[in-house]
Amino acid sequence: MKTIAVILSGCGVYDGAEIHEATLSLYSIAKNGCTYKIFAPDINQHHVINHITGEEMNETRNVLVESARIARGAISPLSDFVAADFDGLLFPGGFGAAKNLSNWAFNGPEGTVNREVSDAINCIVGLKKPIGALCISPVLIAKVLGNIELTIGDDSGTVEGVEAAGAKHVNTTHGEVVIDQKHKIVTTPCYMLDATIDQIGEGAENVVKAMIKLM
């Protein structure tokens, strides 16, 4: 049975992992006969956002501890990740990818990616195993690998950013995936577009199916 490592960035679209994208990725992995293991970095979130008002809350939360809510406790610190143990790597989206796994939300293509995250990406690519990335998380792959083909949907500001990071961007709509055959990178826009939850399910499933074909 193929096993996919899933890296989360918290629990909630505005300061962590997007919950629908994360859950529907796990669901697609299981539904397509694979299994998963979930990781997150053991670091504090950049901040905590009240998801009703959009305002910052005077709290501190840990990315690993909050990601465990999506994982139902079955989660490991990203420092324990060993690329050889897995057949692929998947990043759901959410602002956590751009605020906790990297500082893209603040510094764009000039910013940096968390070292454990960039190590995981480089190691999986070095072993010629596929990476899936939903929503905003393709910016992580662009920042680490540079010259790859990907999609983040059609948001012009973010497109300019990934192109500045060296990537070639392809505009897409709901459920469509872009596959960089050379680096085995599979991307889809999900909530980077104004989407419904069934469209997120379609995007997640198409990414997982494409990853399985690349294994």
Indicate whether 189 belongs to the interface with its own copies (CB under 8 A): no
Which one of the spans 1-9, 11-19, 151-159, 178-186 is the region binding its own copies (CB under 8 A)?
11-19
Please, what is the minimum distance in Å from the beta carbon of residue 209 to its own copies?
14
Indicate whether 24 belongs to the interface with its own copies (CB under 8 A): yes
Output the CA–CA distances (angstroms, integers) from residue 97 to 37, 40, 93, 215, in the order listed: 18, 11, 6, 24
3-state secondary structure of 12: coil
Indicate whether 201 belongs to the interface with its own copies (CB under 8 A): yes
The secondary structure element, H or E, covering residue 21 is helix 19-31
Q: Which DSSP string corresponds to 23-87?
A: HHHHHHHHHTT-EEEEEE-SSB-S-EE-TTT-PEES---BHHHHHHHHHTT-EEEGGG--GGG-S
**Exactly one of 56, 80, 160, 198 binds its own copies (CB under 8 A); which one?**
198
Q: Which DSSP string corresponds to 76-142?
A: EEGGG--GGG-SEEEE--STHHHHTSB-HHHHGGGS-B-HHHHHHHHHHHHTT--EEEETTTHHHHH
Please, what is the minimum distance in Å from the beta carbon of residue 61 to its own copies?
9
Please, what is the minimum distance in Å from the beta carbon of residue 151 to its own copies?
21
Indicate whether 64 belongs to the interface with its own copies (CB under 8 A): yes
Under 8 Å between Cβ of 67 and 11? yes
Residue tagged active-site, from 11, 34, 123, 135: 135
**Exactly one of 13, 121, 125, 167 binds its own copies (CB under 8 A); which one?**
13
Indicate whether 23 belongs to the interface with its own copies (CB under 8 A): yes
Indicate whether 56 belongs to the interface with its own copies (CB under 8 A): no
Active site residue 135: yes
The secondary structure element, H or E, covering residue 192 is none
Which one of the spans 71-79, 101-109, 111-119, 169-177 is the region binding its own copies (CB under 8 A)?
71-79
Structure tokens at 149: 């083909």
Please, what is the minimum distance in Å from the beta carbon of residue 5 to its own copies?
16
Active site residues: 135
Chain positions contacting its own copies, by CB under 8 A: 11-14, 16, 18-20, 23-24, 26-27, 30-31, 50-52, 54, 59, 64-65, 68-73, 75, 191, 196-198, 200-201
